[in-house]
Structure 1
Amino acid sequence: MHPNLARFIEHFEQEASLKGLYRNKLGKSELMFLTEVWGPAFQNNFYGLKAEYPLKDFKGGQRFVDFVYIKGGVRLLMEIDGYTTHARDISPGDFDDHLSRQNDLVLSGWLLLRFSSNQVEKRSYMCQRQIKQAIGHWFAIMQHGFTSDEANPWKLRKQLIIQLAMNTEGRIKPCEVAEAFKVSNSTAVVWLKRFASEGELIPSSNGKRVMYYTLPNFSKTKDNQPGNP
């Protein structure tokens, strides 16, 4: 085993034990992903990669994803699925919840890749290629694509924050933006103030400081939806 991989696994197990996580050991598929896919693809550089990463779902609960890569503006989720991981062993309601969770992650600004354990074992080069393409796509948008309006990072952030607000009754707090984008509260406040100055959000204060921001036309949009009185 490469020394960098050994340190990555040791760090994960120590951190998981300290936090009292249910899973404090990586499974067979996760270890295979590290040795056959990520390690060879990135010369055993694991900086920015995290295993069993906790994320809040659309219901406010905590879920864990197999791997995330967060570096230089890249927000990539990677899940390794066995043949019996999902649809065959869960109820229709749980399956609906599973799909809603995936949609919510994408709308929160994550790029999601899913691989089967068979692909990791037998088609590792394909997995490596898709991961590199995903990371390259993010870097192109965040660093080199500013001449295109669609690739403007501020426009992307605004669209995602508006979607987040729509999922929470038309209002959004700085702490929610910070959690979704993995930035500091102060950075989230700067973003929200900018979008408020552009008329996209309305600040709501308690007389001393802004508590949250609302979408200007959210209530009107809801009232005009079919089926509403």
Structure 2
Amino acid sequence: MAHVDQAVEAFIERHVAARQGERKGRLRRGNRYAENLFLRNVWWPLFGQFDHLHPEYEVYDWNRKSQFIDFAFMPPYGRFGLEIDGFQTHVKDMDRETHSYSLNRDTFLTGLGWTMLHFSFDDVQKHPEISRMLLQLAVGTDSLRPLALTSEISHVEKDILRMAWRLGRHIRPRDVREQFGLDFRTARKHLASMCDKGLLRPVSCGGAVRRYELEPDSLKKLL
């Protein structure tokens, strides 16, 4: 735990030292408890480092009004805005105008290429495994994880698993073939491999396997 605390403190101080004016003040005054808890409970256990992550990141709305999001994650493949929302601040005490602005801001940033992700403070504090699962699904890469934590599941198999969850029904070799441009034999090979790894379960129909269903714990294998 001491190692995590030191890493988080060094991360924040590094960004404070690199900023000036209001951007530095905002980082000093921000909701440090919720944000630090997110770093300790969610981000660090998942990635083990803070590359491409920026706390209290300044963005602008359609009127060029300055706003700050809790974290911006900006790897080479995209831009992600991460917000930790407490019930008291973001729901109970929010009036209609503020609520509308919050939704419009997220939509505006989405139009500019951001992916906006919201995490419940209660989950970050009490059920961080849920936040870790959702963050990993949204970010969708193993490139930032420590090598020792990288799973044996290939990138193609992870994409197939995500597609199976989206479908809401049994997945077929035909679905894989059409989605990923694979031939039938290769699609079947991937599905069989996923069965061996406990991600899918074959469904027999007339003595032949033509469909596959998700194993109950398969989503956890994406972490």
Q: Which structure is richer in relative contact order (CA contacts within 8 A, separation 6 or more)? A: 2
Q: Name which of 12, 19, 39 aligns with 1:9.
A: 12
Q: Determine if contact 2:53/2:71 at 8 Å carries over to the other structure.
A: yes
Q: Counterpart amino acid of 2:21?
A: K
Q: Name which of 79, 87, 96 aligns with 1:75.
A: 79
Q: Which residue of 1 aligns with 2:21?
A: 19
Distance 1:7 1:34 in 2: 12
Q: Name which of 38, 42, 49 aligns with 1:37.
A: 42
Cα deviation for residue 62 of structure 1 reads: 1.0
Count of aligned pairs between the two proteins: 145
Cα deviation for residue 6 of structure 1 reads: 2.6
**Structure 1 ranges of 4+ moved more than 4 A:** none
What's the RMSD between the two structures over aligned residues? 3.0
User: Does residue 1:47 correspond to 2:51, yes or no?
Assistant: yes
Cα deviation for residue 60 of structure 1 reads: 1.6
Q: Which residue of 2 aligns with 1:221?
A: none
Q: Name which of 98, 101, 113 aligns with 1:97.
A: 101
Q: Counterpart amino acid of 1:40?
A: P
Q: Counterpart amino acid of 1:37?
A: V
Query: What do the CA deviations read for 1:171-205 (whole angstroms, capped 9, x no partner)?
Result: xxxxxxxxxxxxxxxxxxxxxxxxxxxxxxxxxxx
Distance 2:94 2:120 in 1: 18
Q: Determine if contact 2:27/2:55 at 8 Å carries over to the other structure.
A: no
Distance 1:90 1:119 in 2: 20
Cα deviation for residue 32 of structure 1 reads: 0.2
Q: Which residue of 1 aligns with 2:168?
A: none
Q: Determine if contact 2:8/2:36 at 8 Å carries over to the other structure.
A: no
| TM-score, normalised with respect to structure 1 | 0.56
Distance 1:54 1:129 in 2: 26
Distance 1:24 1:53 in 2: 9
Distance 1:62 1:20 in 2: 10
Identity, % of aligned positions: 29
Distance 1:125 1:117 in 2: 13
Match of 1:23, SS state, is: helix
Distance 1:84 1:62 in 2: 23
Distance 1:58 1:65 in 2: 15
Larger CA deviation: 70-79 vs 22-31: 22-31
In structure 1, the gaps of 5 or more residues are 145-149, 152-229
Distance 1:128 1:31, change over 3 A: same
Query: What do the CA deviations read for 1:22-42 (whole angstroms, capped 9, x no partner)?
Result: 423351100000011101100
Match of 1:46, SS state, is: coil
